Structure 1
Amino acid sequence: MPANCAAAAHPTVSTDTAAWEAELTLGFSQRGDKTALVKRQHRGPLTVQRPFYPEGEVCHVYLLHPPGGVVAGDRLTINASAEPSAHALITTPAAGKFYRSGGGKAQQTVNLTVADNASLEWLPQETIVYQGARLNSSMNIDLAERGRFIGWELLALGRPAAGEGFENGSANLNWRISRAGRLLYLERLRLDAAAFQARWGLFGHSACGTLFAYPATALQLAAVQALIGEEPNRGVTLIEGLLICRGLDRRADLLKGFFERVWGLVRGDVVGKEVCAPRIWAT
């Protein structure tokens, strides 16, 4: 759901006393002519719906967090692995929500492992970080030498539709991507009230995001550059075969639409499939 639609609901203030700790482990393996979800273990309020196959052999799964939001003290851990030749796409049925905190932090850790000749796509809907929330997010991507990956992270800070910015709170975002055991990319980003307002930061934009695709070439870089054209607050670069695309916007749904177009441009070359949007995105 777009951040501006969710903004009508007032977020719950966390008392930091009823924290959830949840962990989900998924394993994907090629079975015959399709990828199967062969491992599904969960602890706490974190699970998935049954697999869907809207494009034949590719396994689509939707992550579910029944409490509907994350408060201070909650710790969510998601582990997913794609075995050789498997192809899985992971998304969410709605925006994630991190509510304002009384002082503690909420932690989300995602560990993805992609074997040779496997493809894994991590395409969750946006994460809404309410004013006063304190989020630590870590993404760890471990690619085999011939592993393929497309993933994005979309954040909506505050409640722009309600005139609320991000005058307090913080979001610490960490990405670590390795290939064949060697560190390929490391990023640590801290967003707080100063970064939200500053020209060197978000400059008041409530939505920000990053898309990664590997392996990519100068052809995909040129295609995304052409898509961006003269549009402001968009950028793309290529580092050792890793395509990195960034964007800022006033609305998270507009930024997600841009990332969907980038995904449509690069997916065929990166994972060998034409774009097939998960059905849940249309609901």
Structure 2
Amino acid sequence: MDTIEYTKFSGQPAQRAAGLAQLGCASADGRTRLQRLYQDGSAKIRLPAVSADPLEAVLINTAGGLTGGDRLAWEVDVGANASAAITTQACEKVYRAASDHAEVRIELTVGENGRIAWLPQETIVFDRAAFARTLDVDLAEGAEALVLEATVFGRLAMGERAAQGSFRDRWRVRQGDFLIHAEDFRIGPDIAATLARPAISGGAIAVATLLLVSPRAEALLDPVREIIGDQGGASAWSVRASGKLLARLYAGDSYQLRRRLVPLVGLLNGRAGLPKLWSL
């Protein structure tokens, strides 16, 4: 875990939040069961009672949001033939940074024929925020993953827009010994001006990327495109013995984005459907 750092602000030392949470689960007696749970600092995990797979986990940042200098890490290990769905208690808020930047590190590992659905609620970026996130997914042969990250630059309902700031998002997904997906997204310092470009989002402030690694990927492409409509796009490829579907969406605000994410996640997550904490 990263060491807690301190920064001078208005002449007083400001304590920065740090947290690390680790969850391990395995298949036993026909069910996915908790194997290991570790929590430190502001990172907490709660496990709602469920009657069948997947095992559900809710991530909580007790710091109430992130700002410059904060460090948060989530690590999830899903064993062979096990299944887990991970979401968050609420939207993560990234506030204005007086100095430095906030960091979130995510590591997901899935064993042979296991499955993970990484479905956090939206990240809300405030004006002059500075944020960097890394997402590393390691899949064994035959494993499946559904990965979502949605970001909203400001809150129009509150009259707030992220005009300036820095946002970085790095994904690396491997299956076996092969890199099957990689992307790096960066925006800033002129966030609003960049989003206003027609080739970016035409002024839309809510965006989402959704990745499905599964043999079902190509068969789901047409219904995915129907849900997305003309504000986004999707493509699918064969990847080794599996498949990959990548979808990107944008909308004028978080409500309009969620209206399409709800049926999209419901479709791609199969019988598991939506996380219980999701609501329009």
Question: TM-score scaled to structure 1, two decimals?
Answer: 0.87
Structure-1 residue corresponding to 2:66? 70
Letter in 2 for 1:200: A
Question: Can you list the C-alpha shifts for 1:85-130, whole angstroms capped at 9, x where unaligned?
Answer: 1101010111101101113100001000011110111001111011
What secondary structure sits across from 2:120 in the alignment?
A: coil
How does 1:251-270 map onto structure 2 within 5 Å? Answer: 251-268=253-270
Matched, 1:233 2:234: no
Matched, 1:80 2:76: yes
Question: Can you list the C-alpha shifts for 1:209-257, whole angstroms capped at 9, x where unaligned?
Answer: 10111114321112212333xx321210113321101100012132123
Q: Which has the larger share of strand?
A: 2
> How far does residue 165 in structure 1 lie from its aligned partner after superposition?
2.3
> How far does residue 170 in structure 1 lie from its aligned partner after superposition?
1.3
Structure-2 residue corresponding to 1:218? 218
Matched, 1:279 2:276: yes
How does 1:1-283 map onto structure 2 within 5 Å? Answer: 15=9, 17-53=14-50, 56-192=52-188, 193=191, 194-215=193-214, 216-228=216-228, 231-239=229-237, 240=239, 241-268=243-270, 274-282=271-279
- The ranges of structure 1 where at least 4 consecutive aligned residues each deviate by more than 6 angstroms after the TM superposition are none
Question: Can you list the C-alpha shifts for 1:198-219, whole angstroms capped at 9, x where unaligned?
Answer: 2222322110010111114321
Structure-1 residue corresponding to 2:5? none
CA distance in 2, matches of 1:128, 1:217: 29
Letter in 2 for 1:248: Y
Q: Is the 8 A contact 1:21 1:44 kept in 2?
A: yes
CA distance in 1, matches of 2:273, 2:69: 36
Identity of aligned residues (%): 27
CA distance in 2, matches of 1:218, 1:50: 32
CA distance in 2, matches of 1:186, 1:153: 14
CA distance in 2, matches of 1:185, 1:50: 29
Structure-1 residue corresponding to 2:3? none
| Structure 1: tracts of 5 or more residues without a match | 1-13, 269-273
What secondary structure sits across from 1:137 in the alignment?
A: strand
> How far does residue 18 in structure 1 lie from its aligned partner after superposition?
1.7
| Structure 2: tracts of 5 or more residues without a match | 1-7
Question: TM-score scaled to structure 2, two decimals?
Answer: 0.88
> How far does residue 282 in structure 1 lie from its aligned partner after superposition?
4.3
Per mean C-alpha deviation after superposition, the further-off stretch among 161-170 and 133-142 is 161-170
Q: Is the 8 A contact 2:170 2:184 kept in 1?
A: yes
Letter in 2 for 1:206: I
Letter in 2 for 1:195: T
What secondary structure sits across from 1:102 in the alignment?
A: coil
CA distance in 2, matches of 1:109, 1:246: 22
Letter in 1 for 2:226: A
Q: Is the 8 A contact 2:155 2:161 kept in 1?
A: yes
CA distance in 1, matches of 2:225, 2:148: 18
